[in-house]
Structure 1
Amino acid sequence: MIRITAFQWVPPFAAGLVRDLRVRWALEEAGLPYQARLLGQGEQDSPHHRAVQPFGQVPVYEEGDLTLFESGAILLHIGQQSESLLPADPEARARAVQWVFAALNSVEPAIQELAGIDLFHAAEEWAAIRRPGAVAMVERKLDALEARLDGRDWLEDGRFTAGDLMMTTVLRILRHTDLVAARPALAAHQARGEARPAFQKALASQLAPFERYGPREEVPVLQPAR
């Protein structure tokens, strides 16, 4: 049985964004059953967890003798077992993989910087100075994606792949802004991903423990950024 690690509870602003969602979604798309091992507060720094995840993060993927960390690496491993995520054709597969890397390397760092400013440092003077530049960088990334998706449902080859999965989870980090909503093709792409039954099941599975182990409030809405 496949086992993944996830947090028992996270603050409301992080609910639905923790990276085990990517792995849960991939496993649901691939039709692979799994179990979640939930980490309590502080347990991510335990010697046991650090032995399998040197940085104390989630998720960790365990299957037999194989242990993996980093959501991108885990997603590609699952994709190798399922044509629903990575096409069998070598060239189409390579194109799907490139979008996984694009989401992680070209898009997510800029989005994470802005999210960090808004969610953790909004009241600090340096954040107010840095934020316009961070927003401008995110907008450049999103404009490039919007151009790519103009007239397309999915990023490559007219079908959903692991690249769309990863990109959707990255774009969700901006849910406290209207940056995605302001770009119709991009918003539609995210909505198509989130409407997939596998996503809905994965999201419900991630959120369920948060209801059991801690209070859950509405996601805070900050001043929208354009």
Structure 2
Amino acid sequence: MRIFITLVLAILLGGGGTFLWLYYGGFEGEQEISVAFIDYYVDYEETALEVEQLVHLPGTEGNVDRAELLTLLDSILTKEMDAPHRANLAQLALTNLNTLKQEIDKAHTAQAKLYEVLQELDNASRIFSSIDLRTRAEKIVISARKRAELSANITSILSKNNEQTYAILARILVDEGELSQAHITELNSATAETEKRFSTLEQLYSELVVKKKEVEDMFATFVAVAL
């Protein structure tokens, strides 16, 4: 009888049984590896949330520096005033712009850290023997990378807008507050580009919210299956 049972087990593990064993990672599971992956995910999620908070900060309506900058730009570019007054306002606007730049720089730094923790999460996803768990973990990493790409694109657009605004203010200061017709023509062209980027920015913010939920839902399912 024992010989028969041994033969049956050998046949199972030699055929379909091997697949089941690999698929589920051994009948006892891989909890230690799962816990390690979860720990790496927690680090990733904390960093991702930090990045997303930072990329939202420069563009939110509640940002004081952004609000002041927009008000100053409106006055500088649309209101009648003498050149010295316009130059003074441009100098004030640069102060707000520099603060926004610091916020964007922080987002860049956090984004670099995000890619580092993503690589650690990726490495952890490859350790599973279980085909099922490894596949689930790899899908989480893939979606997490797409989420990171969205925040990186947002940061890039914010940087471009910041650079363009700086160029406008610098030109006004170089011209000592004078606003020539040629400069106005350039500004109109730049405004069209900015509006296009703003539209893209809105879309990216929306996609980021969706991708964030997708990653979190996939992770919740992974935890339920793995533990």
TM-score with structure 2 length normalisation? 0.31
| Structure with the largest fraction of strand | 1
TM-score with structure 1 length normalisation? 0.32
| Structure with the largest fraction of helix | 2
Structure of larger gyration radius: 2
